[in-house]
Chain A
């Protein structure tokens, strides 16, 4: 039976091709997104958690962790699992007879290897060369490097090279090499003994303490910190909270949502092609049933046939997906780099991933084909001999959709009770989409009735309209595909363009100075500051330049507030620097000028919108900055620079918190008419101790970064449209097949093939226009939700939704062109068959 069925299917090679292509493309997009995001995520996670593996919490302090706290924790009877870490980001240069090799930036971890061995033995994995010689590690400046770096630099065990650190140059000896061939994220990693790392750092403070705690232990520890007077100096951070991932999460969520939609499209292709194929093979099935094949046997055979085909298509899809993923990975890496993460672009594919994708592709195809197959099984041999089997029951489908809608709305309502819930918003989006899907048929009917009135005197056009209306329950599939693809395309481009505009104009306002000066990117690691000598030279330069209208020094430090790492900024805030801040909320009855004066006087702080959102603060609330230092929030300002949060404080408060921290940068305002570009080329401006950046170039670079980040969504949208095109084509093909009797009748009446094709194209246009109109409304509604609600919940910043008529027009036109292409394909193929 299977052989007969497959032979019959092979007689329609184009359908078979469409079936396989639809499935393969659907799976390919899912595979590409899954593999590339999973790989990027994996390398990201591996990069940041390789040494944190198993750690649930970290103890952090602004100025580092005193060793004494670590000792006290280790000696406490509670037996907490604590691991001290010293982090450095030095560069190293290998000096050889051919000259110095290019400097490489290393992430240097200073660890207590004895504690690591006990609590985190994974650290010792992959040692390929060298030995763990305790006396050497502890007593001499020795280091472990990755195989990749060691090979690249031509280093072998026992070789010495120079490390550049904030405290100067140090010669270290390579004593161990670990294998990073399977874990490229380790390539830049270097390990040292903690004592030696502290020597390099010339500090006694540890960077942080990794801890492995249960929730109860964390609570006990918190009490312990209070009891022993550490609570005000250190923060216990739960690692999930600390990882700055909301942006990444929302980004991945959007990508996965798009991928799932693509799979849905692929399923619609499968559904249409299978329904069509079953109709075409109806006589064969009738014969088989009459020959004694049971309905169950028939269904089993069909499902087996589909399983074979879907497996084939899925494998092709996975292969295609891997190729796509290779292309997507660099984009993803770029986008992650924009989020201050530097993962390694390496595709990560496990057997589990393959199985998951195969199950997803084959399972999706089987699910999509289940309904037509079930309908077939319900038919008696006699019914199967009828000209056309009615595989679709629109009324029942609509009632099911209504039920789903009610469930969606209930779910959304329930989730909306909890604030800041992304899933609630996505439920609302799903419910809105479903409502529009249900509105498709009435809209088409209304449009057709209106057109019927207009086209009364044009019989051919009238036929196109009325015939289209009569076949609407067959054409709903195509309309649904169009609705989904166009609306999601409009929504995503609406969100990204609104974000881009908001970000761009914010940056333009914020970059109010002409020149930004920061310390040169020299060989030192860690936070860079302008040292006293550099600052003196710089200030002398600025004061002697008549072109300089004003300049302002800037200070920056991190502060832990309620488990959140917040960037704290301070400056003298001259008038020129304050104009660019837009307040979202501010103290009542106080004008902006007074607020800035209060900030300068240390009478309060200003916080960014994301920080206010995450800490649930409003203007007037008190904020505890440190022991016995509490300040009111004077104003909340708009900020897209950091979703972790920023805060502005006066100089006196900053000094009180951080004592003598040197400034990290200088902003320079020029007199009107002075060309910054030519000014900085003048003698005395360029200096190896600092780097100059022009506001315009910073803006340009930011725009580039943004474009790179969202290029991936554009790339996916194109693929998405391709699957939608296929889905529409197969839907129309099914429609063509269903009306082949009519077609023959038209032919008998003398209608030329071109005219018949014109009817199909006209109907496709009508359907596309109806679905397109609804898509415009739905798409913009979704864009509004994504821009103003999802962004707020995910990142804490408000972005005004921007309507763009061109966006809608382009989407509508591309939808109609896709529909016409699909119709042409269907008419050509359908005509031939």
Chain B
């Protein structure tokens, strides 16, 4: 009689089963790991309130001095160092937008300064948050990451020798003593050559002196007073360097804008957010437009000429929203503007390089590269805050 099944088949089956058994036995049980995590949003939102007494307030009498005021002002509740840039790839001409921001938030007014650095620097009540973004206009991509750190024993902060502001390995550092610019900026999100890696290493050279915003660096944010910050800018920095995009470095050059602002007050009750424009016109003039939205809106305009000297700006501007962009979850941002000024006479049309340049992190806002056309051509950056609350 013939075997019911071929012997080879049975042998094969036997081998497979043996292997299966061996595998089953040898396999280690997998560890159960928890995937849930707490929201850092809650953590950040639980930070010390800036309304508590003890914070130092911005004062119109305060005289900004450098290099002292390049450093952190720990007795103020909040502070930020901001660098935005419009860059062009040297070989392809592709446009890149760069945003590098370090925020500082003091946690407790009373305890600021109460901890001696040599005692336990881990208890310094200063929290830092970094935002790193890259707009790859040619590929219609906007990348951004957020990072938190305490000041600790030197994890984040600012230092005088050499002048530098950093959050871990994200760093803006002066090339010379006592002057912040020329400087180097190095920051990278993710590691290795992963496709989603991005970052930049840029050399920043000043083309104009520092510009004190508002009244000699005192930047009021409402008519009634009290709500104000200290604020200065380097409105035009020549940039050369490299941008990391999709795992590859690209040589770039272009223009950057730097801001440093500190305050202990936020918006007043009837204010909902602000629209901020930092525009570099092709004729060499630079324009800062801040509209704090409220009843009524509060405006601050600063303009500098080709040499960086302040230019008088008269009258209120007219900012007309011509179009909107809506995020997938329904937050609606203005995305196309007409800006009109009477003196100096400007009629500018401002458009985002890319509609989606939203920073969707612990603090949600829109910050993106823009182009300027109309009576004058130019480029710049716009920042729109407070729109998510209206959703």
Chain A CB within 8 A of B354 CB: no
Could you tell me if B123 and A138 are in contact, using CB atoms closer than 8 angstroms? yes
Could you tell me if B29 and A71 are in contact, using CB atoms closer than 8 angstroms? no
- The residue in chain A whose Cβ has the minimal distance to the Cβ of B147 is A118
Of the listed stretches A12-20, A373-381, A473-481, A535-543, name the one at the interface; the rest are far from the partner chain.
Answer: A373-381
Of the listed stretches A294-302, A329-337, A653-661, A776-784, name the one at the interface; the rest are far from the partner chain.
Answer: A294-302
Chain B CB within 8 A of A195 CB: yes
Q: How far is the CA of A408 from the CA of B175 in the complex (A)?
A: 69
Chain B CB within 8 A of A38 CB: yes
CB B380 to nearest CB in A, in angstroms, measures 30
Tell which of B34, B42, B147, B188 has the most Cβ of chain A within 10 Å. B34
Chain A CB within 8 A of B48 CB: yes
Q: How far is the CA of A352 from the CA of B32 in the complex (A)?
A: 12
Could you tell me if B169 and A126 are in contact, using CB atoms closer than 8 angstroms? no
Determine the chain B residues whose CB is within 8 A of the CB of A356 once the complex forms: 24-25, 27
Q: Give residues 102-133 of A contacting B (CB, 8 Å).
A: 112-115, 117-118, 121-127, 131-133
Select which of B29, B35, B46, B122 is within 8 A of A195 by beta carbon: B122
Chain B CB within 8 A of A139 CB: yes
Q: How far is the CA of A232 from the CA of B144 in the complex (A)?
A: 39
Chain A CB within 8 A of B272 CB: no
- The residue in chain B whose Cβ has the minimal distance to the Cβ of A377 is B4
Could you tell me if A360 and B21 are in contact, using CB atoms closer than 8 angstroms? yes
Could you tell me if A350 and B4 are in contact, using CB atoms closer than 8 angstroms? no
Q: How far is the CA of A121 from the CA of B31 in the complex (A)?
A: 16
Q: How far is the CA of A111 from the CA of B43 in the complex (A)?
A: 15
Determine the chain B residues whose CB is within 8 A of the CB of A79 once the complex forms: 169, 188, 191
Select which of B25, B34, B108, B127 is within 8 A of A260 by beta carbon: B25
Q: How far is the CA of A76 from the CA of B186 in the complex (A)?
A: 11
Determine the chain B residues whose CB is within 8 A of the CB of A77 once the complex forms: 169, 186, 188
Determine the chain B residues whose CB is within 8 A of the CB of A139 once the complex forms: 107-108, 111, 123, 125
Could you tell me if B21 and A367 are in contact, using CB atoms closer than 8 angstroms? yes
Select which of B27, B46, B154 is within 8 A of A68 by beta carbon: B154
B interface footprint on A497-533 (CB within 8 Å = 1, 0 otherwise): 0000000000000000000000000000000000000
Determine the chain A residues whose CB is within 8 A of the CB of B127 once the complex forms: 114, 134
CB B285 to nearest CB in A, in angstroms, measures 37
Determine the chain B residues whose CB is within 8 A of the CB of A194 once the complex forms: 122
Number of A-B contacts (CB under 8 A): 168
Chain A CB within 8 A of B10 CB: yes
Q: How far is the CA of A127 from the CA of B37 in the complex (A)?
A: 9
Interface size class of A (residues with CB under 8 A): 35 or more
Q: Give residues 36-89 of A contacting B (CB, 8 Å).
A: 38, 41-42, 45-46, 49, 53, 67-68, 70-71, 74-79
CB B110 to nearest CB in A, in angstroms, measures 9
Chain A CB within 8 A of B161 CB: no
Q: How far is the CA of A133 from the CA of B108 in the complex (A)?
A: 13
Q: How far is the CA of A350 from the CA of B14 in the complex (A)?
A: 28
Select which of B20, B32, B154 is within 8 A of A75 by beta carbon: B154
Select which of A117, A126, A363 is within 8 A of B17 by beta carbon: A363
Determine the chain B residues whose CB is within 8 A of the CB of A135 once the complex forms: 46-48, 107-108, 125
Q: How far is the CA of A138 from the CA of B127 in the complex (A)?
A: 10
Chain A CB within 8 A of B44 CB: yes
Tell which of A67, A138, A363 has the most Cβ of chain B within 10 Å. A138
Could you tell me if B34 and A75 are in contact, using CB atoms closer than 8 angstroms? no
- The residue in chain A whose Cβ has the minimal distance to the Cβ of B186 is A77
A interface footprint on B5-23 (CB within 8 Å = 1, 0 otherwise): 1000010001001101100
CB B244 to nearest CB in A, in angstroms, measures 12
Determine the chain A residues whose CB is within 8 A of the CB of B153 once the complex forms: 67-68, 70-71
- The residue in chain A whose Cβ has the minimal distance to the Cβ of B146 is A118
Select which of A117, A138, A183 is within 8 A of B125 by beta carbon: A138
Could you tell me if A71 and B188 are in contact, using CB atoms closer than 8 angstroms? no
Determine the chain B residues whose CB is within 8 A of the CB of A41 once the complex forms: 29
Asked, given contacts A124-B36, A195-B120, whether A75 binds B47 with beta carbons under 8 Å apart, the answer is no
Q: Give residues 691-735 of A contacting B (CB, 8 Å).
A: none
A interface footprint on B103-124 (CB within 8 Å = 1, 0 otherwise): 0000110010000000011110
Could you tell me if B29 and A352 are in contact, using CB atoms closer than 8 angstroms? yes
Chain A CB within 8 A of B152 CB: yes
Q: How far is the CA of A136 from the CA of B107 in the complex (A)?
A: 9
Chain B CB within 8 A of A366 CB: yes
Determine the chain A residues whose CB is within 8 A of the CB of B42 once the complex forms: 131-132
Could you tell me if B30 and A352 are in contact, using CB atoms closer than 8 angstroms? yes
Determine the chain A residues whose CB is within 8 A of the CB of B166 once the complex forms: 75
Could you tell me if A370 and B14 are in contact, using CB atoms closer than 8 angstroms? yes
Chain B CB within 8 A of A665 CB: no
CB A525 to nearest CB in B, in angstroms, measures 19
Could you tell me if A353 and B29 are in contact, using CB atoms closer than 8 angstroms? yes
Chain A CB within 8 A of B3 CB: yes
Chain A CB within 8 A of B155 CB: yes
Chain A CB within 8 A of B150 CB: yes
Determine the chain A residues whose CB is within 8 A of the CB of B298 once the complex forms: none
Chain B CB within 8 A of A359 CB: yes
Chain A CB within 8 A of B148 CB: yes
Determine the chain B residues whose CB is within 8 A of the CB of A198 once the complex forms: 120, 122
CB B303 to nearest CB in A, in angstroms, measures 38
- The residue in chain B whose Cβ has the minimal distance to the Cβ of A117 is B40
Chain B CB within 8 A of A364 CB: yes
Asked, given contacts A199-B123, A356-B27, whether A295 binds B152 with beta carbons under 8 Å apart, the answer is no
Q: How far is the CA of A38 from the CA of B169 in the complex (A)?
A: 42
Q: How far is the CA of A46 from the CA of B29 in the complex (A)?
A: 13
Chain A CB within 8 A of B236 CB: no
CB B17 to nearest CB in A, in angstroms, measures 6
Chain A CB within 8 A of B1 CB: yes
Chain A CB within 8 A of B95 CB: no
Chain B CB within 8 A of A243 CB: no
Could you tell me if B29 and A299 are in contact, using CB atoms closer than 8 angstroms? no
CB B264 to nearest CB in A, in angstroms, measures 16
Q: How far is the CA of A573 from the CA of B360 in the complex (A)?
A: 67
Could you tell me if B37 and A121 are in contact, using CB atoms closer than 8 angstroms? yes
B interface footprint on A146-189 (CB within 8 Å = 1, 0 otherwise): 00000000000000000000000000000000000011000000
Determine the chain A residues whose CB is within 8 A of the CB of B29 once the complex forms: 38, 41-42, 348, 350, 352-353
Could you tell me if B38 and A117 are in contact, using CB atoms closer than 8 angstroms? yes
Could you tell me if A199 and B120 are in contact, using CB atoms closer than 8 angstroms? yes
Q: Give residues 126-177 of B contacting A (CB, 8 Å).
A: 127, 147-150, 152-155, 166, 168-169, 171
Could you tell me if A133 and B107 are in contact, using CB atoms closer than 8 angstroms? no
CB B23 to nearest CB in A, in angstroms, measures 10
Chain B CB within 8 A of A254 CB: no
Tell which of B20, B35, B155 has the most Cβ of chain A within 10 Å. B155
Chain A CB within 8 A of B65 CB: no
Q: How far is the CA of A193 from the CA of B125 in the complex (A)?
A: 12
Could you tell me if A367 and B18 are in contact, using CB atoms closer than 8 angstroms? yes
Could you tell me if A71 and B152 are in contact, using CB atoms closer than 8 angstroms? yes
Chain B CB within 8 A of A677 CB: no
Chain A CB within 8 A of B33 CB: yes
Could you tell me if A114 and B17 are in contact, using CB atoms closer than 8 angstroms? no
Tell which of B10, B35, B37 has the most Cβ of chain A within 10 Å. B37
Chain B CB within 8 A of A383 CB: yes
Determine the chain B residues whose CB is within 8 A of the CB of A38 once the complex forms: 29
CB B346 to nearest CB in A, in angstroms, measures 42
Could you tell me if B3 and A132 are in contact, using CB atoms closer than 8 angstroms? no
Could you tell me if A122 and B35 are in contact, using CB atoms closer than 8 angstroms? yes
Asked, given contacts A67-B121, A67-B152, A124-B38, whether A134 binds B4 with beta carbons under 8 Å apart, the answer is no
Determine the chain B residues whose CB is within 8 A of the CB of A359 once the complex forms: 20-21, 24
Chain B CB within 8 A of A241 CB: no
What are 5 of the A-B contact pairs (CB < 8 Å)? A75-B168, A76-B169, A79-B169, A139-B111, A360-B25
Name 19 extra pairs, CB < 8 A, besides A135-B46, A199-B123, A359-B21.
A42-B31, A71-B152, A71-B153, A74-B169, A77-B186, A79-B169, A117-B37, A132-B43, A135-B48, A139-B107, A182-B32, A194-B122, A352-B29, A363-B17, A363-B20, A364-B21, A367-B21, A374-B3, A378-B3
Q: What 8 pairs between A and B have smallest CB-CB spacing?
A: A125-B34, A295-B4, A195-B122, A121-B37, A380-B1, A124-B38, A377-B4, A67-B153
